[in-house]
Structure 1
Amino acid sequence: MQQADTIIDARWVIPVEPARQVLDHHSVVIAAEHIVAILPTPEAHKCFEAKRTVTLGEHALIPGLINLHTHAAMNLMRGLADDLPLMEWLKHHIWPAEARHVSSQFVRDGTLLACAEMLKGGITCFNDMYFFPDAVAEAVLESGMRAAIGMIVMDHPTAYASDADTYLHKGLETRDRFAAEPLLSFTLAPHAPYTVNDKTFGKILTYAEQLDLPIHIHLQETQDEIQQGLEQHQLRPLQRLQNLGLLGPNLIAVHAVHLKPDEMAVLAQQGCHIAHCPTSNLKLASGIAPVTAMLAHGINVGIGSDSAASNNRLDLFQEMRLAALLAKGTSGQADALPAHQALRMATLNGARALGKEERLGSLEPGKEADIVAVRLGGLETLPCYDVISHLVYAAGREHVTHVWVRGKPVVENRNLLTLDERHLSAHAGMWQERIR
Structure 2
Amino acid sequence: MTVGAHRGQPAGSPAGQATLYTADWVLPISAAPIRNGGVLVEQGIIRWVGAVREMPPQITDAVPVEALGAAVLMPGLVNAHTHLELTTLRGFLEGFDFRDWLRTLTEVRRDLLTMDDLVDASRVGIAEALRHGITTMADTTDSAAPLQAMHELGVRGIGYVEVFGPDPAQCATSIARLQERVLTLRAQDTSLVQVGVSPHAPYTVSAALFAATATLAREQALPMAVHIAESAAETAFVRDGAGAFAERLQARGIAVAPQARSPIALLDACGVLACRPLLIHAIRVDDEDLARVADRGARIVHCPISNAKLGHGIAPLDRMLAHGVAVGLGSDSVASNDRMHLLDEARQATLWHAVRSGVPDSLDAHTALRLATQGGADALGLGDVIGTLDTGKAADLVAFPLDVALVGPVFDPAVTLVHVLAGRAEASFVSVAGAVLVRNGSVTVGAASLIDGSMTRLVAAASRLEQWRHRGPA
TM score, norm. by length of structure 1? 0.93
Q: Secondary structure at the match of 1:151?
A: strand
Letter in 1 for 2:460: M
**Structure 2 partner of 1:67:** 79
Matches within 5 A, 1:293-372: 293-372=319-398
Q: Secondary structure at the match of 1:69?
A: strand
Residues 1:108 and 2:135 are matched in the alignment: no
Quick check: 2:225–2:280 contact (8 Å CA) kept in 1? yes
Change (3 A) 1:312 1:294: same
Quick check: 2:133–2:426 contact (8 Å CA) kept in 1? no
Shift of 1:4: 4.9
Shift of 1:136: 2.0
**Structure 1 partner of 2:130:** 119
Q: Distance in 2 between matches of 1:142 and 1:35?
A: 24
Shift of 1:163: 4.6
2:414 aligned to which of 388, 391, 398: 388
Q: Distance in 2 between matches of 1:371 and 1:407?
A: 8
CA deviations on 1:45-82 (whole Å, 9 max, x unpaired) are 72325664211221111100011011111001111111
Q: Distance in 2 between matches of 1:399 and 1:120?
A: 6
**Structure 2 partner of 1:246:** 272
Quick check: 2:374–2:388 contact (8 Å CA) kept in 1? yes
Q: Distance in 2 between matches of 1:162 and 1:212?
A: 20
Could you say what the CA RMSD is over the residues aligned between the two structures, in angstroms?
2.0
Residues 1:76 and 2:62 are matched in the alignment: no
Q: Secondary structure at the match of 1:258?
A: coil
Change (3 A) 1:425 1:4: closer
Q: Secondary structure at the match of 1:326?
A: helix
**Structure 2 partner of 1:7:** 20
Q: Distance in 2 between matches of 1:127 and 1:350?
A: 9
Quick check: 1:155–1:163 contact (8 Å CA) kept in 2? no
Q: Distance in 2 between matches of 1:293 and 1:384?
A: 32
Q: Distance in 1 between matches of 2:166 and 2:82?
A: 21
Q: Distance in 2 between matches of 1:311 and 1:163?
A: 33
CA deviations on 1:156-194 (whole Å, 9 max, x unpaired) are 79xxx9951354134312333213x11102221111111
1:56 aligned to which of 65, 68, 72: 68
**Structure 2 partner of 1:188:** 197
Shift of 1:302: 0.6
Residues 1:141 and 2:141 are matched in the alignment: no
Matches within 5 A, 1:285-300: 285-300=311-326
CA deviations on 1:272-322 (whole Å, 9 max, x unpaired) are 211100111111111111111211222111100000100011110110000
1:199 aligned to which of 208, 230, 246: 208
Q: Distance in 1 between matches of 2:88 and 2:125?
A: 9
Q: Distance in 1 between matches of 2:312 and 2:96?
A: 10
**Structure 2 partner of 1:222:** 231
Q: Distance in 1 between matches of 2:271 and 2:93?
A: 36
Quick check: 2:186–2:195 contact (8 Å CA) kept in 1? no
**Structure 1 partner of 2:425:** 398
Quick check: 2:396–2:434 contact (8 Å CA) kept in 1? yes
**Structure 1 partner of 2:12:** none
Change (3 A) 1:65 1:174: farther
Shift of 1:40: 2.4
**Structure 1 partner of 2:294:** 268
Change (3 A) 1:399 1:138: closer
1:426 aligned to which of 449, 456, 459: 456
TM score, norm. by length of structure 2? 0.86
Q: Distance in 2 between matches of 1:44 and 1:205?
A: 49
**Structure 1 partner of 2:404:** 378
Structure 1 gaps, min length 5: none
Query: Which has the larger strand fraction?
Result: 1
Letter in 1 for 2:88: L
Letter in 2 for 1:81: L
Q: Secondary structure at the match of 1:379?
A: coil
Shift of 1:432: 0.7
**Structure 2 partner of 1:233:** 258
Quick check: 1:143–1:419 contact (8 Å CA) kept in 2? no
Shift of 1:27: 0.9
Quick check: 1:213–1:250 contact (8 Å CA) kept in 2? no
Residues 1:164 and 2:171 are matched in the alignment: no
**Structure 2 partner of 1:28:** 39
1:435 aligned to which of 465, 468, 471: 465
Q: Distance in 2 between matches of 1:406 and 1:177?
A: 21
Residues 1:277 and 2:303 are matched in the alignment: yes
Q: Secondary structure at the match of 1:360?
A: coil
Q: Distance in 2 between matches of 1:270 and 1:166?
A: 27
Q: Secondary structure at the match of 2:403?
A: coil
Q: Secondary structure at the match of 1:194?
A: coil
Letter in 1 for 2:89: M
Shift of 1:201: 1.5
CA deviations on 1:346-367 (whole Å, 9 max, x unpaired) are 1111111111111100001100
**Structure 2 partner of 1:152:** 162
Quick check: 1:83–1:284 contact (8 Å CA) kept in 2? no
Shift of 1:43: 4.4
Letter in 1 for 2:87: N
Change (3 A) 1:55 1:144: same
Q: Distance in 2 between matches of 1:85 and 1:53?
A: 53
